[in-house]
Structure 1
Amino acid sequence: MRVLVTGGTGFIGERLCRELDDRGHDVTALARNPDDAALPDGVARATGDVSAYDSIESAFEDQEAVVNLVALSPLFKPKGGATHESVHLHGTENVVRAAEEHGLTRIVQMSALGADPDGPTAYIRTKGQAEHVVTDSDLDWTIVRPSVVFGEGGEFVSFTKKLTPPVLAPLPGGGKTRFQPIWVGDIVPMLADCVEDDDHVGETYEIGGPEVLTLAQVAKRARRAAGHPVTVVPVPMALAGVGLKVAGSIPGFPMGADQYRSLKFDNTTASNDIGAFGRSEGDLTTLSDYLGVDM
């Protein structure tokens, strides 16, 4: 199959391109700067920005399927003038439009747990709006809603370290927000299965890892792996909100108001759908195993 991967040079995209290439597909990685990526020789490269339709339209010619991975981070404030609306919503609109105009038959859409057009954060709202764009299209669609994804080059562990300095770490609400982190090496084969298997068409999957961890537990594991044990100091959510509103204007500070709001609700699956891919929790890599620390 001829497959276009938008965001094909990113944390997940580069690995998915490799996986699809290994499975014998003709893969093209679409990104704003694809030449810098370490992609296999068999993977073609296309330059474009999903928020600008004319820049991506030609990349869809002669393709059969598209995997739309382009997204802003839910963990860090957007940079460079990009917005959740321009990337998630309008970017998806452009991807669907180009796919339909060039006769593609399938789209796999990377969404997010809790995606909801009426959600509490811009990230969640625009992810929900983008899902409607996909499901209203003429394409055979599959939507994958993962919890946070971790692995080499990923943001989740590094973000947690930024929030939790060594020794004493003040965390909003004591770091009680729950996550269900999944290793990138586990989710990528599932995305590839969605491209190949007709049984996944028309399905929306919530995907998480084998364990549910609070932000405080993640912080302690990440710091222990770095050789810097940490004690979490609870900061009331209301007080944290005031502090983050001020600190969010400081250049380089990782969080703003939207990221603070995201810590007020859990990022876990209602029913982990990994069974649809023939996987069980025992097959998946835990964050502790990845970091090489005891639970």
Structure 2
Amino acid sequence: MRVVVTGASGNVGSALLRELGSRGHDLVGVARRAPDLPPGEHGSVRWHAADVAEDVLDPVLADCDALVHLAWMFQPTHDPDTTWRANAVGTRSVLQAAARTKVPVVVCASSVAAYSPAEDDRPVDEDWPTDGPSPAAYCREKAYVERLLDAFEAQRPDVRVVRIRPAFVFQRSAASEQRRIFGAPALRPWMLDRRLLPVVPVPRGLRLQAVHAGDLARAYAEALERPVHGAFNVAADDLLRRDELGHLLEARTVEVPSRLVRGGIEAAWRVRLAGAPGDLFDALLRIPVMATSRAKAELGWQPQHSAADALDAMITGAREGAGTGLPPLAPDAPVP
């Protein structure tokens, strides 16, 4: 199968290339910066440098068997016009190119952050509303992409469309990138040393689902190879709360009022000491817990890593400056 992957050099894209390459697929990776890789590192991938919001992708998509659209820009959170152009306009452009070139299968990255707020922790399935949990630009753009996919499916009923809605996605090789994206200058690798974290404040009501990028990549691969359509929630089986986070960080935890944490995050973001604004923290507390029974039943998918394993891989990797030769995943300098 000839598969075109946009956003192929990122966290999820890199894992998907490894998975699809192991299954013998013919791969074309689309990224704003085509990597210059040594032999053997994603060596079977043909790279195409393109900005999905501006460049014409028809020549790349011509005669492909499937498209996986992963291209997404989280930063700069202080410039929502830029992220809107990359994420909303970019997705629309990619779908239009797929329609013009008659791509038969389109698999698109959505997110738990597309879902509307939940009032409790009862798991929700894929028919939960997707209007976003807060006004944060990231959530607004994910919800808009859901509407774009609704329109695309209505206009092109001959195309098999799949939406993957993962929880937070972690892996060791993307840890430095995620530290730069979410931590900004305020969070340096040495600050994650467990010896410096004897007490960790945890916002009241915080609970997290997560998934390892390798597990998510297998879900994408199965969605490509099986005759399925529609949305799939993808997350590990465990739910991370205060106790689990304390065990993971080997630290004592203290519950802190969420309003206090929100104010601190917003203040730090305004002076560019944090990578995410307060309204994204609001979303974190409001997103629903996702049920993953459909992915397990129809994709034959089972997570091989727990959420705690995935988060630990990221924390350990960030502390050690882990990364790869792909431009977005460039490593940080290791901690002395």
Which band: TM-score by shorter chain? 0.7 to 0.9
Residue matched to 1:62 = 63
Pairing of 1:70-219 with structure 2 (within 5 A): 70-73=71-74, 78=77, 83-115=82-114, 116-117=130-131, 119-120=133-134, 121-137=136-152, 138=156, 139-155=159-175, 162=187, 166-173=197-204, 176-198=205-227, 200-201=228-229, 203-214=230-241, 216-217=242-243, 219=245
Residue 146 of structure 1 and its aligned partner are, at CA, apart by 0.7
Runs of 5+ unmatched residues, structure 2: 115-129, 314-336
- 1:155-177 deviation per Cα after TM superposition (whole angstroms, max 9, x unaligned): 5985699598612333333xx32
8 Å contact kept, 1:190–1:277: yes
Distance 1:153 1:218, change over 3 A: farther
Residue matched to 2:300 = 278
Residue matched to 1:8 = 8
Runs of 5+ unmatched residues, structure 1: 225-229
Residue 111 of structure 1 and its aligned partner are, at CA, apart by 0.4
- 1:230-249 deviation per Cα after TM superposition (whole angstroms, max 9, x unaligned): 23333322223332222112
Distance 1:47 1:287 in 2: 33
- 1:124-166 deviation per Cα after TM superposition (whole angstroms, max 9, x unaligned): 2221211221232223200010111121133598569959861
8 Å contact kept, 1:180–1:208: yes
Question: Which AA in structure 2 matches 1:78?
Answer: T
Partner of 1:153: helix, strand, or coil? Answer: helix
Distance 1:264 1:132 in 2: 23
- 1:235-278 deviation per Cα after TM superposition (whole angstroms, max 9, x unaligned): 32222333222211223423312322123214520344331222
Distance 1:23 1:113 in 2: 27
Distance 1:153 1:26, change over 3 A: same
8 Å contact kept, 1:180–1:267: no
8 Å contact kept, 1:67–1:108: yes
Residue 118 of structure 1 and its aligned partner are, at CA, apart by 5.1
Distance 1:149 1:52, change over 3 A: same
Distance 1:238 1:40, change over 3 A: closer
Distance 1:11 1:221, change over 3 A: farther
Identity of aligned residues (%): 23
- The counterpart of 1:258, out of the listed 279, 282, 286, is 279
Residue matched to 2:267 = 246
Residue matched to 2:318 = none
8 Å contact kept, 2:133–2:286: no
8 Å contact kept, 2:80–2:137: no
Residue 80 of structure 1 and its aligned partner are, at CA, apart by 7.3
Q: TM-score, normalised by structure 1?
A: 0.82
Distance 1:288 1:238 in 2: 26
Q: Whose RCO is larger (CA < 8 A, sep 6+)?
A: 2
Pairing of 1:44-63 with structure 2 (within 5 A): 44-54=46-56, 56-63=57-64
8 Å contact kept, 1:16–1:191: yes
Cα RMSD (Å): 2.9
Q: TM-score, normalised by structure 2?
A: 0.72
Residue matched to 2:325 = none
Residue 79 of structure 1 and its aligned partner are, at CA, apart by 6.8
Distance 1:59 1:157, change over 3 A: closer
Distance 1:2 1:15 in 2: 17
Distance 1:252 1:52, change over 3 A: farther
Distance 1:118 1:259, change over 3 A: closer
Question: Which AA in structure 1 matches 2:48?
Answer: A
Deviates more, 1:246-255 or 1:107-116: 246-255
Question: Which AA in structure 1 matches 2:283?
Answer: S
Residue 67 of structure 1 and its aligned partner are, at CA, apart by 0.2
Partner of 1:248: helix, strand, or coil? Answer: helix
Distance 1:118 1:10, change over 3 A: closer
Distance 2:54 2:26 in 1: 25
